[in-house]
Structures are given as structure tokens and as C-alpha cells.
């Protein structure tokens, strides 16, 4: 299984103490954005994974400790980017998008 | 092969939705994607339950593939247009699979589901209704499929292209980062492999980059395009994307996809592995 599930996989049944979970919500002025594409980029800005946000704008990745960038692309050309320093366990981060 | 023969854009697709000789086929890992809305008239193929043998790790045999396509209402002389999510990973995999069983006329929708959605083009939840056919497949064309012993013999001789992300290549991650990292395989990559992530071949909207950009991508990374090439990833679907680029868009003659990929190689006792972290 290499494909993505909308919103990211559930953590149900997964030992999150062994994982570096990076999760959050994509929002814009009027609230959460469903169906946005969120990319996880590594410390050299290289593509590592992509998921589409859930109905409530949620996304989730399973990464490794270190520095990451989240880049979101939504309908109407809306873009947003946020950096995060992740540790083992749950790391929460939100991404705000706006049209340029 | 060339780009014009193997890729169609969304405008072409939209103008052929009612073409009786064109069948749109959606292939996703996320089984809910098709139900939430698909291109009008498109049928679904499930890469896991329909394209894989459910006991042995291998593809369904020729007879099962014939039964599957017959039931889906796909004929031998249909133009099959594949598309899907994940920047067409699984659609590329299905494309390679259709070629493996000898279907003549297969194309990919450039940008797949993502571009279609970002363009706000029409999606429907209405199930496709196609009349069953009598599909005939050919024997597997193993000139486009690599097996583990061939990969072992290829080390240092032919181009090995690892299309996973840099962190998977180095051994920092064991799976693409939308999946849990607890896996049974050993991390790393096959010795002499060049790391050219599949994502470098695609634009942000999921469409393929231009021929010139693609050629310089592989040559710039040290791939000798006059030599044979084997591409691999974790389970063979991202490498099918790269196989499509090299074999179908750029017309390289001898390119194979190693579908066993890292889930097989990283589990083999004694198989050589290089690790950078």
C-alpha cells in the first residue's frame, strides 16, 4: 500500500509512540478546506508524501524526527506553507492558504 | 512510443466522454475516491483486490485478467484511458499492467484526478453501466517486468533507478510518509542505484514535465540513457510512473519495472543494501 487516504490514515491500531506523526488542518479565511493537497517536504525541500485533506480539512503524515515543510494547494490556486520541527510522537501543525 | 501516443489531456478527455470506443478507468489506492465522484462513464479497477492474486504475492493470471476486463465491459479494441489519484501512481501501475498483458491502445490522463479536480471539471457518483465483453489477453510481456534475480545481476551493469523520496533512499524512512514507518524490511537502497524521485518528473498539478525537462532530469542524475534501466520503489507503483516516463514518453527501449521493489528487496536474506543514515 503506497497510496494516500483522504485526510491521512487513522492512528487507530498504530503505536504512535514509535511514530513521528505530523498532523493538522488546512484553513483559509472562511474555515477549514476539504480536498486540498498537502505535501510533506524534507529538509532539502524534496517531496516526501502528499495527502488530500478530509471533509474537515484534516491531514496526517508519518515521518521521522527532524525539520519538515508542509505545502498546501487548494482550489482556486490557493497556496500556503508552514515549517515544523518534529519529534517522535504527535506533532500538530496547521497550514493557512490564501489566493495570490 | 511518444508523448502524443500515450498521454491525453483533460480537454481531450472531456470531448471524448461519450466516445463509444474510449473507456475511462479510474485506479486509486483510496477506494472511496471513485465513490465520492468520478469522471462520467468511468469504471473502477481496484489495484489490490482485482489486479493482485489474493493468496500468492503476484498478479492475477491471464485468464483472471480476461474475466476481469470482460466483466468491466472493456474490449480488446477499446482505447483505455487510465487516471487516478496520487499523481497517477496507480493509474501508471495499471497502464504498465495493461501493457504487460498486451492491451494495444492504453493512455494516461495527464494530471489524473488531481488536475481534473483542481480544474473543477465534472465528477459524478452515477455508476457506469457497460455491457460485458469477451476480452482476450496475451501472455505476460516480461521484457517490461524485472524480477529479483535479474535486479541482483543488474547491480553495476545497468541503470538502477530508485524513485522513492530521498529519505526512503537514505534509509531514514521505510515508507512514503503518509504511511506508518514500522515495517519489517531493512531500510536503505540497492547498491549503485541512483535516487531520482518520481515526483521530479511531475509538475505540482500532477501533469508530466516536458520531454526536454525529463531527459535532462535523468541524464543530469547520471543515468546513461543508452544503457538498459530497471526502476523500483516500495511496491512498484511509483516506479511504474517512472517506467511510463522513460519507456512510454521518452521512448527508451529497454526499461523494466521491478514490482517486487523494496518490500521484497529489503526482506531478502543476504541481499546487498547501502544505507546513508
**A81 C-beta neighbours (distance < 10 Å), count:** 13
Give chain A positions within 8 Å (CB) of B29: 1-5
Q: Tell me the mean pLDDT in the region A2-30.
A: 79
B143 exposure class (CB count in 10 Å sphere: 0-12, 13-18, 19+): exposed
Rounded Cα distance between B205 and B111, Å, is 6
- Cα separation, B118 vs A75, in Å, equals 5
Phi, psi of B176 (to 5 degrees): -60, 145
Q: Point out the catalytic residue in the list B193, B196, B233, B240.
A: B233
Dig out the grid coordinates for B92 from the structure: 501508471
Question: What SS3 class is residue B259?
Answer: coil
Phi, psi dihedrals of residue B258, rounded to the nearest 5°: -90, 95
Is B217 an annotated catalytic residue?
A: no
**Does residue B182 belong to the interface with chain A, where contact is any CB pair within 8 Å?**
yes
Tell me phi and psi for residue A64, to 5 degrees: -140, 160
Q: Residue A5 — pLDDT band, cuts 50, 70, 90? A: low
Contact A46 B182 (CB under 8 A): no
What pLDDT is recorded for position B55? 97
Tell me if B28 and A3 make a contact (CB, 8 A cut-off): yes
What was the pLDDT predicted at A3?
44
Looking at residue B55, the DSSP 8-state letter turns out to be: S
* Neighbour tally for A39: CB within 10 Å: 20
Cβ pair B25, B34 in contact under 8 A: no
Comparing alpha-carbon positions, the chain B residue that sits nearest to A49 is B177
Reply yes or no on whether the pLDDT at A4 is more than 60: no
- For residue A6, the model assigns a pLDDT of 67
Cα B206 to Cα B9, B15, B152, B162: the distances in Å are 12, 21, 32, 20
- Rounded to an integer, the average pLDDT of A26-44 is 93
Distance CA B17, CA B19 (A): 6
Residue A27 distance to chain B (closest CA, Å): 17
Question: Each residue of B224-271: pLDDT tens digit?
Answer: 999 999 999 999 999 999 999 999 999 999 999 999 999 999 999 999
Under an 8 A CB cutoff, do B178 and A50 touch? Answer: yes
Contact call for A6 and B238, based on CB within 8 A = no
pLDDT below 70 — which residues of chain B? none
Q: Look at residues B45, B47, B57, B49 and name the one whose alpha carbon lies nearest to residue B81.
A: B45
8 Å CB contact between B204 and A41: no
For B193-225, letters b (16+ CB in 10 Å) and e give: bbbbbbbbbbebbbbbbeeeebbebbeeeebee
The model's confidence at residue A76, banded by pLDDT at 50, 70 and 90, is: confident
Q: Are strands B43-46 and B159-162 parallel, antiparallel or unpaired?
A: unpaired
* Strand B255-257 to B229-232 pairing: parallel
Cβ–Cβ gap B165/A42 under 8 Å = yes
Chain B residues near residue A6 by CB distance under 8 angstroms: 30, 32-33
ipTM of the complex: 0.78
Q: What is the dihedral of CA B167, B170, B171, B176, to 10 degrees?
A: 30
Give phi and psi for B144, each to the nearest 5.
Answer: -115, 5
Q: How far is CA B73 from the centre of its chain?
A: 22
- For chains A and B, CB pairs below 8 A equal 103
B 80-109 residues inside an 8 A Cβ radius of A:
85-87, 89-90
Using pLDDT thresholds of 50, 70 and 90, give the confidence band for residue A2. very low
One-character DSSP codes across B132-196: -----PPPP-GGGB--HHHHHHHTTTSEEEE-S-HHHHHTS-SS-TTS-S--SSPPSB-TT-EE-
- Transcribe chain A into DSSP letters: -----TT----TTS-GGGSEEEEEEEEETTEE-TT-EEEEE-TTS-EEEEEE--TTSEEEEEE-SEEEEEEEEEGGGEEEEEEEEE-SEEEE--EE-EE-
Assigned C-alpha cell, B193: 542505484
Q: Work out the minimum CA distance from B32 to partner chain A, whole angstroms.
A: 8
Does the pLDDT at position A10 exceed 90?
no
Amino acid at each position: 500500500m503506497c497510496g494516500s487516504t483522504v485526510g491521512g490514515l487513522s492512528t487507530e491500531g498504530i503505536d504512535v509512540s514509535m511514530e513521528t506523526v505530523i498532523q493538522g488542518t488546512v484553513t483559509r479565511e472562511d474555515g477549514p478546506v476539504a480536498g486540498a493537497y498537502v505535501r510533506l517536504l524534507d529538509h532539502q525541500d524534496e517531496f516526501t508524501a502528499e495527502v488530500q485533506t478530509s471533509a474537515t480539512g484534516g491531514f496526517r503524515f508519518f515521518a521521522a524526527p527532524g525539520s519538515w515543510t508542509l505545502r498546501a494547494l487548494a482550489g482556486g490556486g490557493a497556496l500556503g506553507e508552514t515549517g515544523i520541527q518534529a519529534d517522535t510522537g504527535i506533532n500538530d501543525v496547521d497550514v493557512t492558504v490564501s489566493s495570490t | 512510443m511518444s508523448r502524443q501516443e500515450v498521454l491525453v489531456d483533460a480537454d481531450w478527455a472531456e470531448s471524448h466522454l461519450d466516445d463509444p470506443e474510449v473507456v475511462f478507468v479510474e485506479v486509486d489506492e483510496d477506494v472511496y475516491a471513485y465513490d465520492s465522484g468520478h469522471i462520467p462513464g468511468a469504471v473502477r479497477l481496484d489495484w489490490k483486490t482485482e489486479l493482485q492474486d489474493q493468496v500468492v504475492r503476484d498478479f492475477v493470471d491471464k485468464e483472471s485478467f480476461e474475466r476481469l476486463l470482460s466483466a468491466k465491459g472493456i474490449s480488446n479494441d477499446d482505447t483505455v484511458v487510465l487516471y487516478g489519484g496520487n499523481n497517477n501512481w496507480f493509474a501508471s501501475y495499471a497502464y504498465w499492467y495493461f501493457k504487460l498483458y498486451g492491451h494495444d491502445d492504453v493512455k494516461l490522463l495527464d494530471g489524473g484526478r488531481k488536475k481534473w479536480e483542481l480544474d473543477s471539471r465534472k465528477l459524478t457518483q452515477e455508476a457506469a453501466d457497460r455491457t460485458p465483453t469477451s476480452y482476450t489477453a496475451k501472455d505476460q510481456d516480461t521484457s517490461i517486468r524485472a524480477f529479483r534475480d535479474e535486479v541482483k545481476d543488474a547491480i553495476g551493469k545497468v541503470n538502477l533507478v530508485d524513485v522513492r523520496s530521498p529519505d526512503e533512499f537514505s534509509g531514514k524512512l521505510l515508507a512514503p510518509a503518509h504511511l506508518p514507518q514500522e515495517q519489517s524490511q531493512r531500510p536503505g537502497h540497492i547498491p549503485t542505484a541512483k535516487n531520482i524521485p518520481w515526483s521530479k518528473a511531475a509538475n505540482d498539478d500532477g501533469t508530466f514535465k516536458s520531454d526536454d525537462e525529463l531527459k535532462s532530469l535523468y541524464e543530469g542524475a547520471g543515468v546513461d540513457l543508452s544503457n538498459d534501466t530497471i526502476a523500483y520503489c516500495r511496491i512498484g507503483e511509483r516506479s511504474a510512473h517512472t517506467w511510463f516516463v522513460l519507456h512510454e514518453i521518452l521512448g527508451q527501449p529497454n526499461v523494466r519495472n521491478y514490482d517486487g521493489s523494496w518490500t521484497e528487496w529489503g526482506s531478502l536474506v543476504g541481499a546487498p543494501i547501502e544505507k546513508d543514515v
